[in-house]
Structures are given as C-alpha cells and as structure tokens.
Amino acid sequence: MPMIPHVPLRLSSVALSALCSTVVLGQEQFGSRGGLEEVLVTAERVVASQQDTPISLTAFDQQSLENLGVIESGDIAAYTPNLRMNKTPASQNAYGISIRGIASSEPSLAIDPTVGIYIDGIYIGRNSAAAFEIVDMERIEVLRGPQGTLFGRNTTGGAINIVTQKPSGEFGFEQKVTMGERELLRSATSIETPEWSNLSARLSFTHGERGGLVRSAYTGGDLGQYDQQAVRLAVRWTPTERLVADYTFDHFQQDSNTNLSQISFVRPLQLSLGGGQYEQAAAAASPRRSGSLPFIGDGKDQSMEIDGHALTLAWEADSYTLKSISSWREFTNRYASQGFGEFPSDGQTLLSASFDGTTVPAGDFVQMFDSQGFNEHEQWSQEFQVIGALADDRLSYTAGVYFFGEEGRQADPQQFVFPALLALGSLDAGTQAFLCAGDCFGKSIVLNSGANYYEADNDAWALYSQFTYDISPKWAATLGMRWSEDERELRLTNTFDDVGETTLSASDSWSKFNPNLTMTYTASDDLMLYGKIATGYRAGGYNVRATTQTSFEDPVNEENVTSFELGGKSEWMENRVRLNGALFYYEYEDQQVSQFEAGSGGASSKLVNAGESEAWGAELELTVMPTDALLATFSYGYTDLSYNKFITSVSDPITGFPARGEDGEPLTADIANTASTIAGSPKSNASAILQYTFPHMGYGQWIAQFDVAYSGDRTFQTQLNLYDRADSYTLFNARLTLADIPVPHGELSVAAWGRNLGNEKVREFGVDFGALGFAVNTYRELRSVGFDLSYRY
C-alpha cells in the first residue's frame, strides 16, 4: 500500500513514543536501495514499522492521499479491505461506517458508533459530523477488528486513525488549486514559520465549492451543491529537550444543499389509497439514477460548523515518556429542510393537517417527507499516558487513564404524507383512532410527528494498559487490558402513543473489562506471524425516536464481540514484494441492530439487541515493485456474516407494515434465516493501484497512475431492503502528473485526473420508508475530470 519513508535509526520504544508527535515523514515512494520503503504507523500509540505491528491495518501516506484525491477520511474506503464508508441521506457530513461487517449508521447522540475515528489520538464522538475536510493530513491508518485496549472507546469494529502534519521548524509555503467538472474548485494554502524562541507554527486554509450533482425538475437549479472553508493552526513549543507541547485549532464551515434523495419505488397499496400525491411520486420514481429530482429548494439550506482545540504535552524521562492529551470540540448542524421529493397538491385528494376535512390548496408544494431542525454537540476529553520499557527493553508498556464527556441536543420535527384511510392518531393519552372523517378513499393526509426533541449527557471513563514481553529473539507476547464505564442521561420530548405529548427522562450505566492477548513470531527479518484474541464492547443506549414510554425507558443492552485473528506480514525478493494478510473469526453477543420503522407517527429507527451472530473472513494486501519505476498495489477483503439468533418485530416487505400473527397482533419472531447479512457492508471488495514513473525529462518528470476499485452487493437494512439494494460495481480512476517542473525556487507540479471513468451509477445509501409507501436512494457522483496545480517551497 502507500508508503512512508524509512527513518534510518534504530530507536528504543521510549524514544519512538516521544517522537510519536514529532516525526515529520517525507514523500518519496522509493528507497535508494531500490526496494519498497518502510511504512511507519502509530497503530499502537507509538511509532513502529507496519511490518512489526501485529494488527491487520492499511496505511496511506501524504503522497498517496494526494494521488488518490483524498480530502475526507471516507475517500480511502474503496482501497481498504473490508472497510465501507457511505454518506447517509439528507446530509453531506454524516457517515455510515462498517469494518468487517460490523456497521453503524445511527446518527443519534444516545448510541455510539462501532468504528471509532481518531484525529491525532483524539476520539471524534459522532459520525454525524465526521465527513469534513481534514486539513494537512499526513497519514491515515485503518485498524481492523476490536481495538479494545489502546483505541477502546466502543470500537468493536475497528478504528480510523488520522495523523496530521506538525510544524517542522523551517519556513515553508504550499499552494494547491483543484478545478473540475460541476464547478468544482478547491484552494489549499499552508504556511510554516521558522522556529523562533522554541516556537514554530503551521497555518493552513482551504476553500472548496461544487455545483450540483443533479438538477431540480422544477427550477433547473443545482441540487447537492456545497460551499466550505477549513482553517487549521498548529503550534509547537519545545522549551526543553525533554518537553514538547503541541497545540492545534481547527475550524470547518459548510453550507450545502442536501436534496439528493431519489424516490425509487412506491408501494402498490399506498398508491391505490393515496390519491394524487402518491400518483405523482410513482410517476417520478425510478430504480435507475435520474438526472433531475422533484425538489423546489435548490439553495444552500443546511449548515455545519465545527470547532476543535487540542493540546498534547509529552515529557521524556530516561526510561519512560509521560503524555497528556486534552481536547474540546463542538459542532452545530442546522437544516431548513431534509426532504425526499415534493409535489403540488391537486386541491382535491390531499387533506390538510387540520383534520377537519379541508384540502391543501391546489398548486401548493408538499414534501412526501420532510424534517427541519438542528443538531448540536459538544465533547471534551482528557487522557494521561505513560509509555516506557523495562528489563533491558525486553518489556515495553503503555498505560493510561481516559475520560470522555459529551452533551448534545437535537430537534427533528417531521411532516409527511400518508394514505388517509390508514392514518392513526392519539385522541387522548393511550387512545388511538383513525384520523379520517368522511370519504377518504383515494386521499392522503398531511401529518406531523409533533414535538421531537431530546437532550443527551454522556460520560465515559477508562483505565487501560498494554504490555509486550520479548520471550525470546523470535517470540513475543502482548497482553492488553481495559476497564470501561459509560453513563448516559437522556431527556426526550415526544408525542408518545401511550402517554401523549410529554417529556421523559432516563439514565443508566454500563461497565466492562476487555482483555486482549497477542502472540508474535518473528521467523526472520522479512517474515512475522501473529495470533490474536481480542474483545470489544459497545455501551448500551436509548431509542431517541421511541413512540411509547415503555420502548423509551427500556434501554438497549451493551453488545460484546470476541475476535480471533491469524495474520502474517512479509517481504520478499530483496524487499520488492510485500505481502500482508489476515484471517479472522468473531462472535457477537447482544448485537445492536438498527431497525427502520415508519407509520402514522412518522419515520424512525429503533435500536434492538439482535441476539447472536458470527462472521469469518480475510484481508490480503500485496505491494510489488518489479522495477524502480513501476509500483503495483492490490487489496482484497472478504466477510461472511451469519445470524444465530435475531429476535425482533417482523416487517412485511410488500406492504411495509408490521407483519401480524394469527391473533392479529404485531409479530415478533427469530429472523436469523431471512435477515440480510450484507446490511451496509458487501461480502467482498477489492482494489488495484498501478503507478509508473517515467525517466526524468528536462522539463519535469511524468508519473502515471491508474486504479480500480470493486464492491459487492449490499443492502442498507436487515429487513426492508427490496427496493434499496445496491448492486455490485467497479470504479476506474486515472491520474497523470508532471512533477519537478523547473522553477527558480521550490517545486511545481501539475496533474490531470479522471474519476469514475466508466460513469458507473453507484447507490450511496438507501432508505425504505416502509408503511409510508416509498423507498429512496442517493447516488454518488458520475464521471468527473479536472486538474491540480501544486507549488511547494
């Protein structure tokens, strides 16, 4: 995979840990010895060679990120075995992430993600604000499998570790401009100051904008456009040889249009009962990607603002290093409309929300489903570490204490259209009746979910340690331990079916001890084998979209995973071939699964403990450099998931309503044999990257890169997935760079690139609205071409 140059020193684990936040890695891809360069990572919180790290991981250095056009962490998913990152509907900033089939796309503040994202060691608590431009990325590492010790913040699936550039202490200037189709423009500027009085700094600013990916069928305006800015300040202070202080501030601001959800199917039952609105929706529906969508709103009506501060202090003693990592982050997300298609009323078949039999005036546009609100979140964390070595460096250790706190609130009122004959509503607390009065056949009604507002207050503590002992020159054992405790408080204001509109409060706590054991065998300088048993845990939580008091006050239990992994890392043919791979098997208990539900109360997702599941699979990565000019990288990932027990409410895939038993009551059953095992994650994915460096010419050096990425079929829900299933696809990309263009000072390069050259219509995410009668999907960008201009001094 992408490479990080060799550091020509053999350092003790103590020195490496001190350098964790100070080493500035170069950009050259080939070593002077004519072989592959060493890849340095911080997957175990200290700088070490990837080949010596007993974790299934993929690493991308700065040059590789640039060649692949990466500006967000999700851009590397296509080239990483068993990793999936999809932006969820109605948002430019929320990710649904899966590693080895362990997936989570729930954006609420009451449920933690399964895959943790870390920036310079700091946990990003919410995937709903994880898709933002990360300025000055130096490296991205993807750690697969439970990271229950060192990255233990509920990371049952794995961790994405992002490392940013630190000040070098020397003056520098970088400017990059990108232009492409659909009015794509991005400018990135970085300035480094020389060291002065033990202080050095790096200031970076980026601006990006893009036109729409599709057009409005009504106005012809752009849908899916955005305008964003990002600022990052990094300051380093080295008052003594032993003490290093790193402070960073980052700010991200985006204004966007999120109307990219396309109606793909309308159910026959709702179509036959719903009148004009459903007839228009059915006429606009298409199972294939459309170039225009039925939205009037083509302005930037959603805003996301993120601010973060971080301070890392590292003090190096003779035999150990002490570290303090402090952080504070907040984001605010406001949206005027998150819709899924809107159509004009015919003045006859759309009843108003007043429930008095009047109709919505002809010509008034009404969303089939719409939400307007805000999402605010604040988090802070403090971590203390001690890293060192004993017994003549035969025993190395990392230990620490960790605290994480967050507060958030969200308002998400909904308005939607529903067949009038089927509409149920609460007359009094605990009493429901049909809302329709008079002749309602062939008519729809506009409904509101009522108050939908919650506040969350979560705290987490942990103690952790990891010890590695060199039993012999070839054998080493690593023992990791982490004790975690999570506390949650939640206040939910909603219109509940059984108690009416009110505010309910609940709180609970969960704790867990997670041990891990790894045995490593170094057969030679070029071959390392390892076996690992790892455990992981994700705290329980509450359903913030609960429709009854009972379903709210009964929390979801914690989930637990035990993983078994065998892996190997090797280099062959005088360091020109690198082959890494892993086999894994894991068992899940009380797996938390999100179930989408919709009806007269609106659309919601309910988190349930599915029961028991298991999975096995493999990852394989091969890097070959047959000549100094040619570099080839191949990757493959496979995951086979099965449910042993999955007891939940059953949905009828045809009508979208809850299935009912012989007694007429909603059916609860074990759906282990019918639930989708590719919900959010395909069984297999693969990629290949070929890069050729031509001989240096007098006017510069040409570098050509071609890459291809494959993903298998997948669904987005375990049950309702007939109409939003994503087929397999293959993407082709290319880049041609002219580097080392002669200029009086600095380095100048220009590159032309093309993405999705096959113009593949890729489904990004899908939602089946069940009883509401329609399913929607979002799609990725079609073929695009552009160029980069880069100057470094």
Q: Please name the amino acid found at residue 113.
A: P
The tokens of 133 are what?
């431009």
Report pLDDT for 22: 30
Question: How buried is 662 (Cβ within 10 angstroms: 0-12 exposed, 13-18 middle, 19+ buried)?
Answer: exposed
Determine the length of the chain. 793
Helix extents (H) in 477-555: 549-553
Q: Where are the beta strands (DSSP E) in 497-558?
A: 500-524, 527-538
Report pLDDT for 601: 59
Report pLDDT for 109: 77
Which of 412, 407, 408, 389 has its CA nearest to residue 399? 389
Q: What is the DSSP letter of 196?
A: B
Q: Count of CB atoms within 10 A of residue 388's CB?
A: 21
Contact 461, 482 (CB under 8 A): no
State how far the Cα of 647 lies from the Cα of 433, in Å rounded to an integer: 29
State how far the Cα of 24 lies from the Cα of 41, in Å rounded to an integer: 12
State how far the Cα of 72 lies from the Cα of 59, in Å rounded to an integer: 15
Report pLDDT for 23: 31
Would you say the C-alpha torsion 86, 676, 539, 335 has a positive or negative sign?
Answer: positive
Strand 199-210 versus strand 226-237 pairing type: antiparallel
The partner residues of 587 in beta bridges, in order of sequence, read: 562, 614
DSSP 3-state of 280: helix
Q: How far is C-alpha 672 from the chain's CA centre? A: 27
SS3 assignment for 391-458: CCCCEEEEEEEEEEEEEEEEECCEEEEEEHHHCEEEEECCEEEECCCCCCCCCEEEEECCCEEEEEEE
Report phi then psi at 127, rounded to 5: -70, -15
Report pLDDT for 512: 94
DSSP 3-state of 549: helix
Nearest-10 Cα torsion for 690, 694, 700, 702: -30
State how far the Cα of 161 lies from the Cα of 435, in Å rounded to an integer: 52
State how far the Cα of 682 lies from the Cα of 712, in Å rounded to an integer: 5
Q: Count of CB atoms within 10 A of residue 471's CB?
A: 11
The tokens of 746 are what?
């600095």
DSSP 3-state of 147: coil
Radius of gyration of the chain (CA): 27
Show me where the domains of the chain are located: 13-792
For the chain, the helix, strand and coil percentages under 3-state DSSP, each to the nearest 5: 5, 60, 35
The tokens of 513 are what?
């001890």
Report pLDDT for 600: 55
State whether CATH 2.40.170.20 applies to domain 13-792: yes
Report pLDDT for 194: 96
The parts of the chain modelled with pLDDT lower than 50 are 1-33, 426-432
Q: How far is C-alpha 790 from the chain's CA centre? A: 28
Report pLDDT for 625: 96
State how far the Cα of 191 lies from the Cα of 173, in Å rounded to an integer: 5
Which of 762, 765, 759, 764 has its CA nearest to residue 782? 759
State how far the Cα of 717 lies from the Cα of 597, in Å rounded to an integer: 11
Report pLDDT for 451: 72
Contact 173, 203 (CB under 8 A): no
Q: Count of CB atoms within 10 A of residue 244's CB?
A: 24
Contact 711, 78 (CB under 8 A): yes
Strand 350-351 versus strand 172-180 pairing type: unpaired
The partner residues of 642 in beta bridges, in order of sequence, read: 614
